[in-house]
Amino acid sequence: MKSLVTIFFLTSLLIGTSYASGNPKAITEIRQNTISSLENGLNSKNLGLKSSCAYMLGELQISTAVIPLMKILRENENEDLRIAAALALYKIGTPMAINAVKQSIRFDNSKRVSKHCASFYYEYMKNKLIDEENNDYVVKTARK
């Protein structure tokens, strides 16, 4: 219970700081103890705490959390938690994280989890294609 209160407090403080700056994504510094607390929350027996920590790690794009999130995606029995881990991996967006989501499309035993992973992967590929088209446009415009 104490760890749940600590995680909630740290998350609230972190979110409050970002909104106070006028931009919810503008977090200038994420302290290592915040990251450690969120990563430790992934090992909790409390499903809500695990899910919340996975979500925040994804929102903050903490790449050191990729391996523990991949483990949850591969091994956890709870579909909702696996979906939360897949979403976090998608948001982190490293090649290894995206590959884990892609592999879960084919190999996860749950059609529901596979469907969500397919949706996340599709969104990633769509954004990647849009970024490439925008970069091509900038290059073509610069050559003129």
List, for residues 23-35, the tens digit of each pLDDT value: 555 555 889 999 9
CATH homologous superfamily for the domain 2-143: Leucine-rich Repeat Variant (1.25.10.10)
Which tens digit of pLDDT belongs to each residue from 95-118? 999 999 999 999 999 999 999 999
Q: What is the mean pLDDT of the chain?
A: 85
pLDDT band for 131, please (50, 70, 90 cuts).
confident
Report domain extents, the chain: 2-143
Question: Does pLDDT of 20 surpass 50?
Answer: no
The tens digit of pLDDT for each residue in 62-92 reads 999 999 999 999 999 999 999 999 999 999 9
Q: Which two tokens stand for residue 4?
A: 């749940």
Going by C-beta distance under 8 Å and a sequence separation of 6 or more, which residues neighbour residue 17? 27
Dihedral angle, C-alpha 114, 108, 72, 35, nearest 10 °: -40
